[in-house]
Amino acid sequence: MRYYQHLIYRNENSVMHEEKHNYLMELEKTLISRLAGITRDLTSEHSADSAEQVTERENEDVLRNLQEETRIELQQVRSALKRIEAGDYGACTNCGEEISPERLNALPYATFCIRCAK
């Protein structure tokens, strides 16, 4: 009986990982597109009006912050995809325990279980 329970758990886990893989692949595409848009905006020409240039510079600061946050998230997504391919997805990188499905639903590229994340 225990053997069959293990097979059922393994199959459910496999389905969840496939769903996460698909979701993460789509998220990766979205983040790459976002980065391209931010880069395009950052390389656009500036206005000749000095008052408008001040606003443009402030916007560039915001865009640079968004660019960095997007790069970090993209890196996390790619790391999660590698963990799926390696069979390590869903295991806490600190203690080795399983990361709860609820946590992975909220943050699909989580590397720590909730206990280690605190």
- The model's pLDDT over 36-85, given as tens digits with 9 standing for 90+, comes to 999 998 887 766 666 666 666 777 889 999 999 999 999 999 999 999 99
**Is residue 94 assigned to a domain?**
no
The pLDDT of residue 9: 40
The pLDDT of residue 26: 97
The pLDDT of residue 53: 62
The pLDDT of residue 5: 39
Residues of the chain with pLDDT > 90: what percent?
Answer: 62
**Is residue 107 assigned to a domain?**
no
pLDDT surpasses 60 at 4 = no
Number of C-beta neighbours around residue 110 at 10 A: 20
Domain limits for position 68: 2-88
113: left (phi over 0), alpha (psi -120 to 50) or beta: beta
The distance between the two most distant Cα atoms of the chain, rounded to a whole number of Å, is 76
**Is residue 104 assigned to a domain?**
no
Query: Which residue reads 């280690």 in tokens?
Result: 116
**Is residue 79 assigned to a domain?**
yes
The pLDDT of residue 42: 84
As a whole number of angstroms, the distance between CA 95 and CA 75 comes to 22
Domain count, the chain: 1
**Is residue 111 assigned to a domain?**
no
Q: Which carries the bigger pLDDT value, residue 41 or residue 35? A: 35
Average pLDDT, the chain: 84
